[in-house]
Amino acid sequence: MSQGLRTSSGGRINRARAVRFTFDGRELSGFEGDTLASALLANGVHLVGRSFKYHRPRGLLTAGAEEPNALVAIRRDAARVTPNLRATEVELYEGLEAHSQNRWPSLKFDAGAINSLLSPFIPAGFYYKTFMWPRRAWHRLYEPRIRAAAGLGLAPEHPDPDSYSNRFAHCDVLVVGAGPAGLAAAQTAAASGARVILCDEQPELGGSLLGEADPGASLGENGRDWLTGTIRALLANPRVTVLTRTTAFGYFPHNLIGLEQRLSEHLAQPDPRQPRERQWQVRARQVVLATGAIERPLVFPGNDRPGVMLAGAVRTYLNRYGVLAGRRAVLVTTHDEAYRSALDLRRAGAAVTIVDARESASGELAEVARTAGLTVHTGTTVIGTHGRLRVKSVRIQRLDAQGRAQGAPERIDCDLVLMSGGYTPSVHLFSQSRGKVAWSEALQAFLPGESPEKVRCAGACRGVFSAAAARRDGESAAALAARDCGHAVNIAIGEPQPVQGAGAAAPGDLPQPGGNPPAKAFVDWQNDVTSRDLLLAAREGFRSIEHVKRYTTTGMATDQGKTSNLNALAIVARQLGKSIPEVGLTTFRMPYTPVTFGSFAGYTRGELFDPIRTTPIHDWAARQGAVFEDVGLWKRARYFPRNGESMHAAVARECEAVRRGCGLFDASTLGKIEVVGKDAVTFMNRLYVNGWTNLAVGRCRYGILLRDDGFIYDDGVVARIAEDRFHVTTTTGGAARVLAMMEDFLQTEWPDLSVWLTSTSEQWSVIALQGPRARQVLEGLVEGVDLSSTALPHMGVAPGKICGVPMRLFRVSFTGELGFEINVPADYGLAVWEAIHAAGEPHGITPYGTESMHVLRAEKGFIIVGQDTDGTVTPDDAGLAWAIGKQKPDFVGKRALERPAMHSPERKQLVGLLTAQPHVVLMEGAQIVADARAIPPSRPIGHVTSSYYSATLGRSIALALVRAGRSRMGQTLYVPMPDGALAVQVTSPVFYDPKGSRLDA
Amino acid sequence: MLLINCPYCGERPELEFVHGGQAHIARPGNPAECSDQQWADYLYRRDNIKGVHAERWRHTHGCGRFFNALRDTTSDLFLATYKVGERPPAQSQQKRATA
């Protein structure tokens, strides 16, 4: 492969190591040290992409992270396709496979380019204006078409097989950016003894210096020695962590910085066992931002053709990668600094013409250029370019004294256009720190001002552009930072370097003939926004820059307007007759450059996505073939299918076993809180609705907990273990929030109460043994407890032993049958469970799961908080007003229950529903209406909260919250479904054994 | 992620804490004497301060204690943290931030 544009020597590439790669299937070759962009350019490939909206041919604009055009997909295999990578940042490796995007059928001939011809008809806001009618066409026609045309790259087809790492780190001083200011800052901070982290997005330290032919020379006194010595010292210092290929993408409160480290993207054969990326969360005591500046394009017609590049980028390709991007170049500029690029190109053998829009160019560099024999057209603007897939010429025109384009246009043939409209300091991270930026008239740039964070800026990102000055600026910033975290600083802390004017130029567009807004003068390359679009938005009445941004989409592409925002702002400001600071900047948000979802997910994928909580009996249930369901973080056995049973069949069998024999249920996930202390009963009285004073030791009670707004928050059985000790149970999902609420009241409202609260949820295994034969099963296993109904009646609690293990035995029932809940220390849970199971075998003992538990409790009309209640249900609504202690002066929620609305007869109340057709099971959540013929939208009067098929009753049952439900007993209501309304009869919510006689079976 | 100085444990990352809403809102001593409006105010009305805000935090994944904090909502900087029952410390910065 020929690398026709490669220079014969120079650059930081390793010419001894050729690297083969493909671009859209074409085999090409570059060198070790190349980026994909520099290698493509070396092969004469200027055309690298198509623009988003008009599908215009686009080439490389930049050489860095700000690149808007050269977005490519890198493919390793079907699962490892990364779209929208900037070719300027993709390091070349052997066998790299790159694909261009947003074109069909090919990059050189793209059918979508028809949009470019249609461009007069699709200006800014086109979507909003056009696709308004007919309305029904939106879903069928407009949206699918727009969606197909939208977006850039394609996502991979398979789940990401790579792993991503996360880590936290702390340091005294974090330095972002390893250019002259960043290197000096890191070195100064390290010399003070501070712990330092230095990060840079590039593979090599040096920042902007890497684009110089002689990187050390621009650093002033002993620059070369200082540069090599500093880098060596930083890498060798154990108190300094140097992170290359690492982008500081976000600045979060209290000096927490997100870093994205790319570990294997540059390797030909990444080790699949190693993480692909590592995301760092660095908590820094002090931050020094040395994030540099981004060169600004100029806005003139045809400024987007392949071969039109930023001047600094051309210089970087030449000096760093040994690529001469063209042989006949035109430099278009408005300031002196860009002349360096022309001079470097000239030295490399290219012919360069300079077009300078300023009236005169008298700076030192301009004189050097003239002396070197370069033609300099001052007072001249560019009014157009030519060339389809590569720029072939530019047209220029003289400006008169008033800055108007006048006179005969002139044409200059060329194969490369360099442009530079000055530099925009990269204040992204500073602004994310909630730092305020201030407009500098001298520099024509927004510069960092005050920030609430402990952050300083150094170098070009605060307008100190020259490398030597940036180095001194970095030293000063780091010395102050090190001092502020308590380190002795040996160097004299100088005043911050004054900002310097070289490279300052007004943003905006170049003057055009007749003052007309030109066509195809691009401001935002990636989103295809032209100066005409911005003027249109201003004419249509958009005044806020935030609105202009959203209307035109300028600055909203994946590059977030790194090259475009300031030009857009200047054009809008001029049109509105305001100054740039009056119009103001749009907000900078993280991430600085796109960050992969994988790196945010880190280790929390698959099994590690969430913790899993299992009970001591879990493995036993799994061996029995239980099907589990997630309840919060818990895994709970839902049913135990035998011989391939369906859930329906298994639940019917399990329910029958409980109703006729006995069933065994793992209730260990119940929340449990031990409330202990001399004021425990006072505490419980104040918190729960029930009266607790009269609850005798050895008895338990169904407790209801409200919020202070009067609505049910949680429920559960509460046992009095001793005068000063309650065993409180909560719902499985509510355990943590109930304890938090208890702690809140105890610590902040009633700190005078002597009460201890302890979560015991995981200390007790709870085995529910339910059914008419439960007592017979248990009899042979317990010691020290009389199981008879007289000694241990319903809602009795007794300490004792089972299988030699200490136990709290509750005689309680969530099934309506005779039942026990055996609490044993969790470590013995499995052994006791197995012993009960073995003892129960002659009685047909049957393990049952949560699904059967739900059916059994619904048959009895027992509510589940969170299913049959929704945060707007009072105890009375749920039919539980009997539980409220009537004598108590106060409890949490009592005052709210006295509000008139809480007594309205129109409140939704819990009722039962029976479908007219007994085998139809209603959908939970289905709405209920009074009139079957009501035409939607009609107002529902309630909804179904629980619905099951009850094998015991041989029909379906449902619980529902229905407006004035208790006054509707026997009425027929309707549940509208897609196939027609289902008739239901309102009944009591207790479907089975309403007298409760089975509890004492 | 904020760094929060628990008065019992010292500086810890926000991950360990739960925010508990506005501080110094005492539950009325005798709710029965409250009018509906007073009770609704206690339940629902909170300040939405631009500047120094007194708020409750709980060191859930630490000591479990509730405490109060003065935080400037415009900068997220904590001016002070203090124990339940203590008065908010006088802050010269508080005046400046709320002025």
| pLDDT single digits (tens) A67-80 | 999 999 999 998 99
Amino acid at A626: A
CB A821 within 8 A of CB A667: yes
What share of chain A has pLDDT > 90, as a percent?
84
Q: Which residues of B touch A452 (CB under 8 A)?
A: 72, 74-77
In CATH, what number is assigned to the domain containing residue A663? 3.30.1360.120
Q: How far apart are CA A8 and CA A401, in angstroms?
A: 45
Closest CA relative to residue A618, chosen from A762, A727, A758: A762
Helix (H) or strand (E) holding A371: helix A364-371
Do A445 and A474 reside in the same domain of the chain? yes
ipTM value: 0.94
Where on the phi/psi map is residue A337: left (φ > 0), alpha (ψ -120 to 50), or beta? alpha
Contact call for B27 and A740, based on CB within 8 A: no
Per-residue pLDDT, averaged over A217-228, amounts to: 92
Q: Is the pLDDT of residue A52 over 90?
A: no
Contact call for A740 and B18, based on CB within 8 A: yes
What share of chain A has pLDDT > 70, as a percent?
95
Question: Is A169 contained in some domain?
Answer: yes
Residue A696: count other Cβ atoms within 10 Å of its Cβ.
Answer: 10
Q: How far apart are CA A637 and CA A642, in angstroms?
A: 14
**Strand-strand pairing, A712-722 and A700-706:** antiparallel
Q: Which residues of A touch B27 (CB under 8 A)?
A: 708, 749
Per-residue pLDDT, averaged over A758-778, amounts to: 97
A807-864, pLDDT tens digit by residue?
999 999 999 999 999 999 999 999 999 999 999 999 999 999 999 999 999 999 999 9
A881-912, pLDDT tens digit by residue?
999 999 999 999 999 999 999 999 999 999 99
Do A2 and A141 reside in the same domain of the chain? yes
A617-654, pLDDT tens digit by residue?
999 999 999 999 999 999 999 999 999 999 999 999 99
Please give the tally of structural domains in chain A.
Answer: 7
**Strand-strand pairing, A96-100 and A455-457:** unpaired
Q: Where are the beta strands (DSSP E) in A868-922?
A: 908-915
CB A519 within 8 A of CB A536: no
The helix-helix angle for A339-347 and A311-321 (nearest 10°) equals: 40
Q: Which residues of B touch A740 (CB under 8 A)?
A: 18, 58, 60
| A328-367 CB burial, b ≥16 within 10 A, e <16 | ebbbbbbbbbbbbbbbbbbebebbbbbbbbbeebeeebbe
State residue A792's pLDDT score. 96
Do A753 and A688 reside in the same domain of the chain? yes
Nearest to B43 among A281, A709, A890 (CB): A709
Q: How far apart are CA A930 and CA A940, in angstroms?
A: 8
Contact call for B76 and A253, based on CB within 8 A: yes
In CATH, what number is assigned to the domain containing residue A8? 3.10.20.440
Structure confidence at residue A505 as a pLDDT band (50, 70, 90) = confident
A250-287, pLDDT tens digit by residue?
999 999 999 999 999 999 999 989 999 999 999 999 99
Per-residue pLDDT, averaged over A201-223, amounts to: 93
In CATH, what number is assigned to the domain containing residue A232? 3.50.50.60
Contact call for B84 and A747, based on CB within 8 A: yes
Q: Is it true that domain B3-98 has CATH number 3.30.2270.10? A: yes
Interface test with B, best of A747, A886, A897 (most B CBs within 10 A): A747
Q: Strand B66-72: give its sheet, edge to edge.
A: B18-22, B52-58, B66-72, B78-83
State residue A128's pLDDT score. 66
| Cα four-point dihedral sign A530, A295, A563, A416 | positive
What tokens appear for A182 in the block? Answer: 């960043």
Q: Is the pLDDT of residue A493 over 70?
A: no
Structure confidence at residue B92 as a pLDDT band (50, 70, 90) = low
φ, ψ of residue A308 to 5 degrees: the values are -95, 115
Amino acid at A763: Q
Do A653 and A772 reside in the same domain of the chain? yes
Residue A70: count other Cβ atoms within 10 Å of its Cβ.
Answer: 28
Do A173 and A80 reside in the same domain of the chain? no
Q: Is the pLDDT of residue B67 over 50?
A: yes
The helix-helix angle for A339-347 and A364-371 (nearest 10°) equals: 30
State residue B96's pLDDT score. 42
State residue A450's pLDDT score. 93
State residue B99's pLDDT score. 32
Q: Give me the helices (H) in A602-753, please.
A: 618-623, 647-660, 680-687, 735-744
The helix-helix angle for A565-576 and A545-552 (nearest 10°) equals: 120
In CATH, what number is assigned to the domain containing residue A563? 1.10.10.1100
Per-residue pLDDT, averaged over A101-116, amounts to: 78
Bridge-partner residues for A820, per DSSP? A769
Do A702 and A754 reside in the same domain of the chain? yes
Q: How far apart are CA A68 and CA A553, in angstroms?
A: 14
Q: Report the range of poorest mean pLDDT among A147-151, A205-209, A512-516.
A: A147-151
Do A467 and A344 reside in the same domain of the chain? no
CB A571 within 8 A of CB A534: yes
Amino acid at A820: F
> What are the domain boundaries of chain B?
3-98
Half-sphere exposure of A272 (CA within 13 A, CB side): 6
Question: Is A885 contained in some domain?
Answer: no
Q: How far apart are CA A818 and CA A667, in angstroms?
A: 16
Per-residue pLDDT, averaged over A767-794, amounts to: 96
A316-336, pLDDT tens digit by residue?
999 999 999 999 999 999 999
Contact call for A256 and B76, based on CB within 8 A: no
Do A197 and A340 reside in the same domain of the chain? no
A751 touches chain B (CB under 8 A): yes
Question: Is A965 contained in some domain?
Answer: yes
Question: Is A202 contained in some domain?
Answer: yes
A152-207, pLDDT tens digit by residue?
788 888 999 999 999 999 999 999 999 999 999 999 999 999 999 999 999 999 99
Per-residue pLDDT, averaged over A462-467, amounts to: 91
Q: Is the pLDDT of residue A663 over 70?
A: yes
Q: Is the pLDDT of residue A231 over 80?
A: yes
In CATH, what number is assigned to the domain containing residue A710? 3.30.70.1400
CB A333 within 8 A of CB A420: yes
Helix (H) or strand (E) holding A859: helix A850-859
A548-585, pLDDT tens digit by residue?
999 999 999 889 999 999 999 999 999 999 999 999 88
CB A692 within 8 A of CB A683: no
Per-residue pLDDT, averaged over A945-951, amounts to: 97
Interface A:B, Cβ pairs < 8 A = 59
Do A695 and A778 reside in the same domain of the chain? no
Structure confidence at residue B94 as a pLDDT band (50, 70, 90) = very low
Domain that holds residue A469: 164-293+424-484
Q: Report the range of poorest mean pLDDT among A111-115, A394-398, A929-933.
A: A111-115
Do A988 and A1001 reside in the same domain of the chain? yes
Do A3 and A133 reside in the same domain of the chain? yes
φ, ψ of residue B48 to 5 degrees: the values are -125, 80
Question: Is A950 contained in some domain?
Answer: yes
- Mean model confidence pLDDT for chain A: 93
Q: Where among A114, A131, A160 does a domain terminate? A: A160
What tokens appear for A637 in the block? Answer: 């056995």
Do A338 and A406 reside in the same domain of the chain? yes
What tokens appear for A823 in the block? Answer: 């609490």
Question: Is A350 contained in some domain?
Answer: yes
B20 touches chain A (CB under 8 A): yes
A76-94, pLDDT tens digit by residue?
998 999 999 999 999 999 9
Q: Is the pLDDT of residue B98 over 60?
A: no
Radius of gyration of chain B measured on its C-alpha atoms: 15
Bridge-partner residues for A800, per DSSP? A807
